[in-house]
Amino acid sequence: MSFLLLIEQILNGLQFGVMLFLTAAGLTLVFGVMGLINLAHGSLFMIGAFAAAATAAATGSFVLGLAASLAAAAAAGALVEMLVIRRLYNRDHLDQVLATFALILIFSEGTRWLFGSFPLYLNIPLALSGPVTLPGGIEYPLYRLTIIAVGLLIALGLFLLISRTRLGVQIRAGESDREMIAALGIDINRLYTVVFALGAGLAGLAGALVGAIQSVQVGMGEPVLILAFVVIVIGGIGSIKGALIGSVLVGLTDTLGGVLLPETFKLFMDPASATAVGSALASMLIYILMAVVLIVRPTGLYGARA
Amino acid sequence: MMKTKSLLLAATAAAMTAGMALAEPVKVGMITTLSGGGAGLGIDVRDGFMLAVKQAGNPDIEVVIEDDQRKPDIAVQLADRMIQSDDVDILTGIIWSNLAMAVVPSATAQGKFYLSPNAGPSALAGKGCHPNYFNVAWQNDNLHEAAGAYANSAGLKNSFILAPNYPAGQDALAGYKRMYEGELAGEIYTKLGQTDYAAEIAQIRASDADSVFFFLPGGMGISFLKQYADSGVDLPVVGPAFSFDQGILQAVGAAALGVKNTSQWNKDIDNAANKAFVESFEAEYGRLPSLYASQGFDTANLILSAMAKADVKDQDAFREALRAAEFDSVRGEFKFGPNHHPIQDIYVREVVQEGDVFTNKILGVALEDHADAYAGECKM
Amino acid sequence: MTEPVLSVRNVSRKFGALIASNNVSLDLRPGEIHALIGPNGAGKSTLIKQIAGGLRPDSGEVHFLGRDVTALSTVQRARMGLGRTFQISALAMEDTVLQNAMLGALGAGRRPYRFFRPVLKDRDLREVAETALDRVGLLDHAAIRTSDLSHGQRRQLEVAVALTLKPRAFIMDEPMAGLGASGSKRLTGFLDELRHEAPILLVEHDMDAVFALADRISVLVYGEVIATGTVEDIRNHAEVRRAYLGEDA
Amino acid sequence: MSRETIFNAVLALGLLLFPLWAYVADEPFMITLATRVAILALAGVGLNIALGLGGLVSLGHAAFFGIGGYAMGILAHHAQSYTPLMEVPFLIEGTKSMPVIWLVALAASALAALVIGALSLRTSGVYFIMITLAFGQMLFYFAISWPAYGGEDGLSIYVRNSFPGLNTLDPIQFFLIAYVILAAALMFAAMLAKSPFGLALNAARQTAERVETIGITPYRLRLTAFVISGAITGLAGALFADLNRFVSPSMFSWQTSGEIMIFIILGGVARLFGPVAGAALFIALEHVLGGLSEFWHIYLGLLLLAVVLYARGGIIGTLAGREVAHD
């Protein structure tokens, strides 16, 4: 494999990682502040994609679609938080798992009821379509570069939000000590609703951004959910920094593993079985990565709490 | 999981169409995917099937429809119920090969007929064939073989081929290679359910391929096509019809325009039965029929044609009637091979835009009177 | 002088910039009650953890029964006969008082991997557990759910569980807390007897109990032992009065 | 007798009488449904030992369920095709005998649980949930892409495996096999909870520190519980495969792990009959709601939500109230 191709694949891994980060950030935020396992996070991702597709189809504007994804997912998140999630903070993880699993069922079939069983159309805006030539002669899709940029901007925004704003102070207080928040006179119900809606909105935005180059269909959120969990667990639950590093690690492992493993096996096997064995191993690779990280560091790379 | 929509068509239609002499009613159990991500395919099969039943106006056919949720164990459970409790004569409807493998062997072993409107795993065409199993769609490899044949005739010499790493994917690449005579620029198995194909597309770009063949059903195909179109790689793409089907094309949009794909059916096949089918389907459901709908439609008509000739309780006679396949297939000519799989023409289509709608038009025949590669292994 | 049962030798432990234990040395001799006192945050709990095995010192050694146990786990030290009670009750709250005591007996018997016979039908274990409960005065409460006990009763149960192990030395972390006057008087009397079975390293805030019971006292301030001596020595120790008792007075 | 004991007895009797009624009324599918309940409840009983008694929330029990299933599938596949399982270093033939298959399923899943548990138990809390999920996913992807035994298509067994003296193809006889095994597992679980091991494990869940200070290693207790738990779930997997006469990688999927866990939460965590009540309710709901609408998942979701929010402690917790302290 040429050096240039390797660079391009590393870029692809990075890009995949950033896409994962967009979904994982909201999940880790909600977990860190509220201690809530939210299986329905993938559904919010799906809601964002559907809202964007519907809006873009109606208005012809991708940007409006993005705005709609953010709004729809945040609204759905706030609604769910007030109606259901709020009652679950003091429950153990098992109740949260069951309740948010129930939410997946409701969201998935509700979406199918509203939008039908066929995938929706959502494409990237003309201005961002097609490849650009990078230094070194790599042709790379502009939209994917945009995703990398947006993802990094959101990461930066989250760091600033948490380190520099009043909301960030409250979030940090919430992570360390719930009683302290109440003592500080902060309306904890409002804080939780806001954080949950923020996490949901991020998931929705990710759904719209990613949906433009994937398939907008019912059930699109579940594989993403599992990957997002893998990411935040590797990074350490509750840590935005961990989520970013975990995302990139998973993105690189998955992409490079899929490319390099079959090549490696070809060195000592016939090509057909090398491809088969290499691909099989590659599909297990991120889970192997996660298991190894947890065996070495039982609370993830940046997880503080046991 | 059990939605029972018993559709006992009005007995008042006892005015009776000609040829409905045999009064023994036939009970059909349809197990198909109606909820979750893959529901579109099952809904199409169901709608096509029920359209034919409705048009026949035959009061002697009763259809029980159930949702398998694309889960093998649910499909088995439904089959058990239909066989044990509903006492159906014929089972049909399954979309996915892995579900078919779960249901078909035991259903046929229990003396039921199974007519496949979509899945055609090689095991059931070869060593595992059964007198009571009929495939009305295709053997899984057929469309891929046709794609290979088309690649030869189009002068493609160096294909890059990819499919998900699971049995149907492995069959797909094997099927393509069976007919294709050129070189392979690369051969990749992707992860089942994969949504991002940047790495694969980079490999395609870096190779010296002159064409791409892929089999990525459902959402995987949509993702691949969108990302491929955006990558700037402009090698010609060939694939089986599954990723260019009516239900999917609207979601892919312009990214699919011009792609050549192989199919045993298209809405512009020129015969009376097909014209009537396309028109009546659009009138009934307000959308264009898909490949899957056509297969459901043909399956129902095959059953109806056999009912007209034999009593379902007389299994040997009914089996002969099915094997004769004397119905007006929307594909034109249709007959069964010795292993009860179709011998049929497979066409090359191109994705085009008609007004706002993306659809396919036929370019020519890729393989004429094509049978499958496993018939020889079938002993029955 | 007899060989000490337990000895802590030059133990130090840091958490970042905080020095939790600074070159601490102390020992526990047969038959004695050695009280460890000090203001909150002096590093008593950290020291206890290093003795019992939950935490490894950065440097220094812990010896128990003449053996260097610094590298041994809590479980190994417990099996050698180090009995411990917790400051914040570590009891199975959903279980009955008797079950908690039997748990101790089970640990002492070293045979927890039995899957079939109900543990409550094991006469030997039951006898050990009931004897221990009787000694702390909880036998009447044997069938009560532990979470329904008062705080004082939970301390008693802590002691009872430690008793079932028949340890060679006790480490007790504030057993008097929450007991009330009569309760702590009874426990004081009980510990006074108990020292003849095995010596006790006693961390306690109740100074009346400490002065009544202790043969020797060590005072821990900012992770350092500033004084060790008899009750009289400590009462008269100028630095201790200043650093510690002075605040109390 | 406590209310929970009465409820358990009613449930046990009901699960036996329902298929007997179906047998008399000639409703063989109802027998199949009851068999499904019994087998899935068995899987739940297995998980409940880790989850309820040991506090080990495993989202990877599909691994053991699938291994049990494939133990059946692989052995029966070789027996069916008259090919040996392996020839070197010594000959192993396939088999169609249920007892042998069960033993292999138990042993294989116990071994897998030993390895997975030994690594996973280094973590705790949510990390434990996720690392067990990771192992389940590894096996899932392995099963899909491993062509020798059918990959995603799975393995079909044409005739159900045999049990000496019984006709396993007769639904009621197969039901009775499953029921007896479930009953045995419940008895074992009840005994385990009261045994010395159960006492120590239960204490380790509540206060690991205490267990250490009495000289017992919590890690080993938990690992033992995890192995027992995995083995029982593996046995359920073998029976489930025999019920369907089919195995496929979907038995390894994370949804399967989730479903087994949901039976327990629905029924009542750490309740002896929790998995039975949960599996029965879940399957009854599927059966009834499935007939109402194409979008019946919405109703199922709403019902599950109602149970979490308003029926705390699951069905048994609601009906029987707070658990009485043992003895």
Residue D314 has pLDDT above 90, yes or no: no
Q: Which residues of D touch C108 (CB under 8 A)?
A: 214-215
Q: pLDDT of B70-109, one tens digit each?
A: 888 889 989 988 998 889 999 999 999 889 999 998 899 8
Residue B211 has pLDDT above 90, yes or no: yes
Helix (H) or strand (E) holding A281, with range, is helix A271-296
Name the CATH architecture for the domain at B7-138+268-336.
Answer: 3-Layer(aba) Sandwich (3.40)
Q: Is domain C1-81+167-249 given the CATH code 3.40.50.1360 in the classification? A: no
Helix (H) or strand (E) holding A54, with range, is helix A41-59
Domain assignment of residue A231, yes or no: no
Q: What is the 3-state secondary structure (H, E, C) of chain C?
A: CCCCCEEEEEEEEEECCEEEEEEEEEEECCCCEEEEECCCCCCHHHHHHHHHCCCCCCEEEEEECCEECCCCCHHHHHHHCEEEECCCCCCCCCCEHHHHHHHHHHHHHCCCCCCCCCHHHCHHHHHHHHHHHHHHCCHHHCCCEHHHCCHHHHHHHHHHHHHHCCCCEEEEECCCCCCHHHHHHHHHHHHHHHCCCCCEEEECCCHHHHHHHCCEEEEEECCEEEEEECHHHHHHCHHHHHHHHHHHC
Mean pLDDT of A141-157: 92
Residue D154 has pLDDT above 90, yes or no: no
Q: Which residues of B touch D292 (CB under 8 A)?
A: 3
Bond prior to B338 in cis (omega within 30° of 0): no
| Residue C248: pLDDT band with limits 50, 70, 90 | very low
Q: How far is CA B77 from the centre of its chain?
A: 23
Domain assignment of residue A46, yes or no: yes
In terms of Cα–Cα distance, which of D182, C49, B223 is closest to A16?
Answer: B223
Torsion angles phi and psi, residue D87, rounded to 5: -115, -30
Query: Does an interface of 3+ CB pairs under 8 Å exist between C and B?
Result: no
Position B11 scores a pLDDT of 36
Position A178 scores a pLDDT of 65
DSSP line for A101-120: HHHHHHHHHHHHHHH-SSPB
Residue B361, helix vs strand vs coil: strand
Tell me if B102 sits within 8 A of B92, measured CB to CB: no
Q: Which residues of C touch D327 (CB under 8 A)?
A: 96, 98, 120, 143
- Quote the CA–CA distance of D227 and D221 in Å, as a whole number: 10
- Quote the CA–CA distance of B194 and A214 in Å, as a whole number: 10
By DSSP bridging, strand A131-133 and strand A139-141 are antiparallel
| Residue D49: pLDDT band with limits 50, 70, 90 | very high
DSSP line for B181-232: -SEEEEEEEEPTT----HHHHHHHHHS--SEEEE--TTHHHHHHHHHHHHHT
| D287 interface with A at CB cutoff 8 Å | no
| Residue A163: pLDDT band with limits 50, 70, 90 | confident
What is the domain extent for residue A152?
13-218
Query: Does an interface of 3+ CB pairs under 8 Å exist between D and B?
Result: yes
DSSP line for D161-227: -BBTTB-TTSHHHHHHHHHHHHHHHHHHHHHHHHSHHHHHHHHHHH-HHHHHHTT--HHHHHHHHHH
- Unique residue bearing structure tokens 């990237």: A124
More confident residue, A79 or D27: A79
Position A177 scores a pLDDT of 67
| C103 interface with D at CB cutoff 8 Å | yes
Residue B156 has pLDDT above 90, yes or no: yes
Joined tokens for residue B217 = 């059903």
With contact defined as 3+ CB pairs under 8 Å, the chains touching D are A, B, C
CB contact under 8 A, D206 and C75: no
Superfamily grouping for domain B142-263+346-377: Response regulator (3.40.50.2300)
What are the residue ranges spanned by the domains of chain B?
A: 7-138+268-336, 142-263+346-377
Q: pLDDT of D204-231, one tens digit each?
A: 999 999 999 999 999 999 999 999 999 9
Lowest mean pLDDT of A247-256, B42-51, D24-33, name the range.
D24-33
| Residue D323: pLDDT band with limits 50, 70, 90 | low
Percent of chain C with pLDDT over 70: 97
CB contact under 8 A, A110 and D133: no
Mean pLDDT of D154-178: 89
Tell me if C207 sits within 8 A of C248, measured CB to CB: yes
- Quote the CA–CA distance of C9 and C23 in Å, as a whole number: 8
- Quote the CA–CA distance of B341 and B129 in Å, as a whole number: 10
| Residue C100: pLDDT band with limits 50, 70, 90 | very high
H helices present in A116-239, as ranges = 142-164, 166-176, 178-183, 188-211, 221-235
Position B13 scores a pLDDT of 39
H helices present in chain D, as ranges = 3-24, 28-48, 62-81, 98-120, 125-145, 171-194, 196-206, 208-213, 218-244, 254-267, 274-289, 296-310, 314-320
Q: pLDDT of A214-226, one tens digit each?
A: 889 888 998 889 8
- Please name the residues in contact with D286: beta carbons below 8 A apart, sequence gap of 6 or more: B1, B2, D300
Residue B218, CA atoms < 13 Å, CB-side half-sphere: 21
The one-letter code for the residue type at A199 is G
Cβ-count burial B172-190 (b if 16+ within 10 Å, e if not)? bbbbbbebbeeebbbbbbb
Mean pLDDT of B153-173: 91
Q: How far is CA B56 from the centre of its chain?
A: 22
Given phi > 0 = left and psi -120 to 50 = alpha, else beta, which region is B81?
Answer: alpha
Chain D interface, best mutation among C48, C79, C113, by max D CB count within 10 A: C113
Q: pLDDT of C81-95, one tens digit each?
A: 999 999 888 899 999
Q: What is the mean pLDDT of chain C?
A: 89
- Quote the CA–CA distance of D277 and D315 in Å, as a whole number: 7
With contact defined as 3+ CB pairs under 8 Å, the chains touching A are B, D
Tell me if A10 sits within 8 A of A253, measured CB to CB: no
Q: At what angle do helices A240-266 and A3-34 cross, to 10 degrees?
A: 140
Q: pLDDT of C10-55, one tens digit each?
A: 999 988 788 889 999 999 999 999 999 988 888 898 999 999 998 9
Q: Please count the structural domains in chain A.
A: 1
Residue B37 has pLDDT above 80, yes or no: no
- Please name the residues in contact with A167: beta carbons below 8 A apart, sequence gap of 6 or more: A161, A191, A194
Tell me if A258 sits within 8 A of A36, measured CB to CB: no
Q: pLDDT of C146-205, one tens digit each?
A: 999 988 889 889 999 999 999 999 999 988 887 888 888 888 999 999 999 999 999 988
Position C197 scores a pLDDT of 92
Q: Which residues pair with B183 in a beta bridge?
A: B158
- Quote the CA–CA distance of B334 and B345 in Å, as a whole number: 8
Percent of chain D with pLDDT over 70: 98
By DSSP bridging, strand B342-354 and strand B260-263 are antiparallel
CB contact under 8 A, D262 and A99: no
Mean pLDDT of C233-246: 76
DSSP line for A283-303: HHHHHHHHHHHHHHSTTTTT-
Joined tokens for residue A217 = 């269909």
Position B246 scores a pLDDT of 87
Percent of chain A with pLDDT over 70: 95
A→D interface, C-beta within 8 Å: 31, 37, 84, 87-88, 91, 93-95, 97-99, 101-106, 108-110, 112-113, 226, 229-230, 233, 237, 276, 279-280, 283-284, 287-288, 290-291, 294-295, 298-300, 303, 306
Q: Is domain D3-320 given the CATH code 2.60.40 in the classification? A: no
User: Which of the 8 DSSP states describes residue D290?
Assistant: T
Q: pLDDT of A86-130, one tens digit each?
A: 888 888 888 888 899 899 999 998 998 999 878 888 888 888 888
Question: Exposed (0-12), middle (13-18) or buried (19+): which is B165, by Cβ within 10 Å?
Answer: buried
Joined tokens for residue C48 = 């206890």
| Residue D87: pLDDT band with limits 50, 70, 90 | confident
Helix (H) or strand (E) holding B63, with range, is strand B61-67
Measured from the Cβ of residue B77, the count of other Cβ atoms closer than 10 Å reads 26
Cα angle B138, B144, B149 (rounded to 5 degrees) comes to 115
Domain assignment of residue A286, yes or no: no
Q: pLDDT of D100-113, one tens digit each?
A: 999 999 999 999 99
| D213 interface with C at CB cutoff 8 Å | yes
Position D1 scores a pLDDT of 65
Helix (H) or strand (E) holding B272, with range, is helix B272-285
Percent of chain B with pLDDT over 90: 67
Tell me if D23 sits within 8 A of D240, measured CB to CB: no
Q: What is the mean pLDDT of chain A?
A: 88
Torsion angles phi and psi, residue C33, rounded to 5: -110, 120
By DSSP bridging, strand C82-85 and strand C169-173 are parallel
Mean pLDDT of D9-32: 92
Distance from CA of D21 to the nearest CA of C (A): 35
Q: pLDDT of D107-138, one tens digit each?
A: 999 999 999 999 999 998 888 998 999 999 99
Measured from the Cβ of residue C141, the count of other Cβ atoms closer than 10 Å reads 19
By DSSP bridging, strand D155-156 and strand B183-190 are unpaired
Tell me if C233 sits within 8 A of C218, measured CB to CB: no
CB contact under 8 A, B189 and D287: no
Instruction: Measure CB to CB from residue B227 to each of A112, A213, A216 and give the nearest one.
Output: A213
Instruction: Measure CB to CB from residue D245 to each of B3, B106, B165 and give the nearest one.
Output: B106
Residue D138, helix vs strand vs coil: helix
